[in-house]
Amino acid sequence: MNIMLLGAPGAGKGTQAAKLVDAYGFAHISTGDILRKAVANQTPLGLAAKKYIDAGELVPDMVVIGLVKARLQEPDAEKGFILDGFPRTVIQADALGRALQELHKKLDAVISIDVDKGVLIKRLTGRRMCAQCGAIFNVVSQPETGNGVCPACGGSLMQRDDDTVTTVTNRLDVYERSTAPLIAYYRDKGVLRRVDGNRPAESVFSDVRAIVEG
Ligand code: AP5
């Protein structure tokens, strides 16, 4: 099954993707993760992407389209994939449609995770990620992570550079302007499903699971 998770920054795309990977073993294709890894490794892609990520702006379409096209052709995508953070513009969505056609693949569901703006800001500024295993936590809803140690693997919990209030505010504006129109885009294609993402992650996941298994 091939799924896209659509939603604002902090909606819980990465959190739900991790649960889907655990439950079904789908390949997780996160453009944010690919770009952050490139930044950490100081590759040419990372050096080019860093200024956009730090400012909360989108990396140019042609860069991310090329990355995703290549990633979709890796062997693990055969067993089903989850797109997380891609597409983010209509140009990217059109390019994805063409790429999937060329690869004889299709999207089974586009799941929009809907969360109120005030909740998003709190979630993003409280987010911590494990530098070692990549697990996602929140110091507000999971106070036990306030000691900076990953409960899953014992690694160090870090705050993402783009989770400051100023950058988060810009990311939410960019989302409204460039990405929110994709909700109507995929509704018109008949593949859109919506879930209320304001609830605890496990409740959101039971709706996501119902879509996957429905
Ligand atoms: P990216 O990494 O894709 O970030 P994003 O879309 O802004 O989304 P986030 O990762 O911030 O949030 P999420 O929805 O995954 O939430 P999470 O599960 O972590 O992109 C980063 C940057 O890379 C972009 O700004 C851009 O520069 C660039 N980029 C990436 N893709 C691109 C593209 N296609 N084109 C151009 N540029 C691109 O959860 C957030 C927090 O909330 C966590 O603390 C979590 O524990 C908590 N939480 C999650 N769910 C719940 C819940 N149900 N209840 C309570 N807390 C919850």
DSSP one-letter string for the chain: --EEEE--TTSSHHHHHHHHHHHH--EEEEHHHHHHHHHHTT-HHHHHHHHHHHHTPPPPHHHHHHHHHHHHTSGGGGG-EEEES---SHHHHHHHHHHHHHTT---SEEEEEE--HHHHHHHHHHEEEETTT--EEETTT-GGGGGSB-TTTS-BEE--TT-SHHHHHHHHHHIIIIITHHHHHHHHTT-EEEEETTS-HHHHHHHHHHHHH-
Q: Residue 24 corresponds to which amino acid?
A: Y
Where do the structural domains in the chain lie, given as residue ranges?
A: 2-116+178-213
> Which pLDDT belongs to residue 70?
96
pLDDT of residue 209: 98
Residues of the chain with pLDDT under 50: none
Catalytic residue, candidates 19, 37, 69, 160: 160
Ligand 1 centre from 60 Cα, in Å?
18
pLDDT of residue 31: 98
Instruction: Identify whether the C-beta of residue 42 lies closer than 8 Å to the C-beta of residue 72.
Output: no
Q: Residue 88 — φ and ψ, nearest 5°?
A: -125, -5
What distance in angstroms lies between residue 183's CA and the mean position of ligand 1's atoms?
A: 17
Q: Determine the topology of domain 2-116+178-213 in CATH.
A: Rossmann fold (3.40.50)
The CA distance from 119 to 8, in Å, is 11
Which amino acid does the sequence have at 120? L
Q: Using most ligand atoms within 8 A of CB, pick from 136, 169, 203 the residue to mutate for ligand 1.
A: 136
Catalytic residue among 123, 128, 171, 193: 171
Give the ligand 1 atom nearest the CA of 68.
34
Q: What is the pLDDT of residue 190?
A: 96
Q: What six digits make up the tokens of 214? A: 């429905």
Whether this model's pTM surpasses 0.75: yes
Residue 88 known to be catalytic: yes
Query: To test ligand 1's pocket by mutation, which of 4, 13, 173 has the most ligand atoms within 8 angstroms of CB?
Result: 13
User: Active-site residue 194, yes or no?
Assistant: no
